[in-house]
Amino acid sequence: MPINWPELTLAVALALAGAYLIADLAARFVQSTLRAVIADPAVEKAFVDRPRRIIRLTIFLVAAAALVFPAVRIAGYQTGLGGSPRAVGSWLLDVGLRIVVIAIAAYLVIRIASAAARRLEREMSQGTGLDVLERTKRAQTLGRLLQKTLAIVVAGMAGLMILRQLDIDITPVLTGAGIAGLAIGFGAQTLVRDVLSGFFLILEDQVRVGDVAVVNGQGGLVEQVNLRTIVLRDEAGAVHVFPNGEVKTLANMSKDFSYAVLTLGVGYDADVDRAIEGMREAAASLMDDPDFRPHILEPLDVYGIDAFEPARLVIKARIKTVPLKQWLVGRELRKRIARRFAERGIEMGVPQMAFRMDREERPGGTPRAG
């Protein structure tokens, strides 16, 4: 035991106390910054308390190492380290401090990005609309993708900067990374194209799970919207998988609202005005039905005579519905229109074909059908 152990103990205690004070002040600053970004008490434990403890411990260890050696030397005690305490302290205060700052800065950037992604998910999940769950899923997908990408980039940059501080040549690492990135880019360009297309498809909310869509001419119910693929199931139950990079045409038939389009034919001798009136009455009775009223957004819109066809006049109309209910409303409306037409004596126009039989006489007086 050294002769001046009381002075040595006091010096070490003061150094540790100073290190703890510095670490506590830094941790409080980080805590207040993260709380301002997150603003959600429900997730403070995961995104505020844990980073505060890690940062406090890291800064305490660095500050303690930086303060203990000068304190021991001031107390008159010489250590048996290979290098002098002054050299060790100088290295810690110079290179060591810069390494710690780089690591802490990288950690803070990653944690703030995680907190921002969490806040984005929370804000997009607010409301009581029918698509809250889908908006939440979309926000989680985009948030996780951005968070992981940023974490990889920041961690890689921080690692290279730390290697530079340790006087390690990073030129071979950069060269190897460039060659590997070039090879991966050529080999996985289709995958990268699919992922980028899927990112913008999800970001722009072009199609969602549960929509009815036509992708590249194939219609079906959207079961999955992934970063790489869209999965449809048609009415026969067959599953169709389309890579996002190969989606050339996409028609969403249930985004925000839909229309049930009706094309009816009546005879040329029918009263068109009475036919249109009967269609409006059928639509009005449908809107008064409590089973169908929640599905209808606007009354029936009759365009009028849309085309002249053999043996019939074509009347076109549409009715606005909530998404995915256009087929249900359209079938019921056609049934009621048919009933109204029958009550009013309006005959539906049916395409007809006329046949003519000619007879001519064979030689000898025998008739022959022509």
At 219-231, the pLDDT tens digits run 999 888 888 899 9
pLDDT confidence bin for 45, thresholds 50/70/90: low
- Looking at residue 239, its pLDDT comes to 93
- Looking at residue 28, its pLDDT comes to 81
Q: Which has more confidence, 155 or 287?
A: 287
Classify strands 250-252 and 301-309 as parallel, antiparallel or unpaired.
unpaired
Q: Domain residue spans in the chain?
A: 5-186, 206-252, 258-344
Backbone angles phi, psi at 177, to 5 degrees: -65, -40
pLDDT (average), residues 12-24: 81
For residue 1, pLDDT over 50 is answered with: no
- Looking at residue 82, its pLDDT comes to 42
Q: Above pLDDT 70, what percent of the chain?
A: 72
Give the tens place of pLDDT for each residue, 273-332. 999 999 999 999 999 999 999 999 999 999 989 888 888 889 999 999 988 889 999 999
pLDDT (average), residues 331-342: 91
The DSSP letter of residue 94 is I
Give the tens place of pLDDT for each residue, 91-103. 666 677 787 788 8
For residue 366, pLDDT over 60 is answered with: no
- Looking at residue 284, its pLDDT comes to 92
pLDDT (average), residues 243-253: 90
Q: Of 33-42, 261-270, 274-283, 310-319, which gets the smallest average pLDDT?
A: 33-42
Report how far residue 49's alpha carbon sits from residue 157's, in angstroms, rounded to the nearest whole number: 26
- Looking at residue 39, its pLDDT comes to 62
For residue 169, pLDDT over 80 is answered with: no
Beta strands in 47-99 (DSSP E): none
Q: Of 162-176, 223-237, 331-345, which gets the smallest average pLDDT?
A: 162-176
Backbone angles phi, psi at 234, to 5 degrees: -80, 180
For residue 259 the two structure tokens come to 């229309």
Report how far residue 57's alpha carbon sits from residue 357's, in angstroms, rounded to the nearest whole number: 104
Q: Above pLDDT 90, what percent of the chain?
A: 18
Give first-to-last CA distance, the chain, whole Å. Answer: 133
- Looking at residue 40, its pLDDT comes to 62
**Residue 233 in 3-state DSSP?**
strand
Q: Which has more confidence, 80 or 46?
A: 46
For residue 237, pLDDT over 80 is answered with: yes
- Looking at residue 143, its pLDDT comes to 72
Give how far the C-alpha of residue 29 lies from the chain's centroid of Cα atoms, to the nearest Å: 33
- Looking at residue 215, its pLDDT comes to 93
pLDDT (average), residues 34-39: 67
Could you tell me the fold of the domain covering 206-252? SH3 type barrels. (2.30.30)
Report how far residue 369's alpha carbon sits from residue 358's, in angstroms, rounded to the nearest whole number: 6
- Looking at residue 232, its pLDDT comes to 93
Report how far residue 128's alpha carbon sits from residue 83's, in angstroms, rounded to the nearest whole number: 67
Report how far residue 152's alpha carbon sits from residue 148's, in angstroms, rounded to the nearest whole number: 6
| Alpha-carbon distances of 346 from 82, 274, 278, rounded to whole Å | 108, 8, 9
- Looking at residue 83, its pLDDT comes to 46
The CATH label, of 2.30.30.170, 3.40.50.720, 3.30.70.100, 3.40.47.10, for the domain at 258-344 is 3.30.70.100
Report how far residue 136's alpha carbon sits from residue 125's, in angstroms, rounded to the nearest whole number: 5
Query: pTM higher than 0.75 for the full model?
Result: no
pLDDT (average), residues 213-241: 90
Report how far residue 104's alpha carbon sits from residue 110's, in angstroms, rounded to the nearest whole number: 10
CB of 262 closer than 8 Å to CB of 330: yes
Per-residue buried b or exposed e for 2-15, using 16+ beta carbons within 10 Å of the residue's own CB:
eeeeebbeebbeeb
- Looking at residue 38, its pLDDT comes to 62
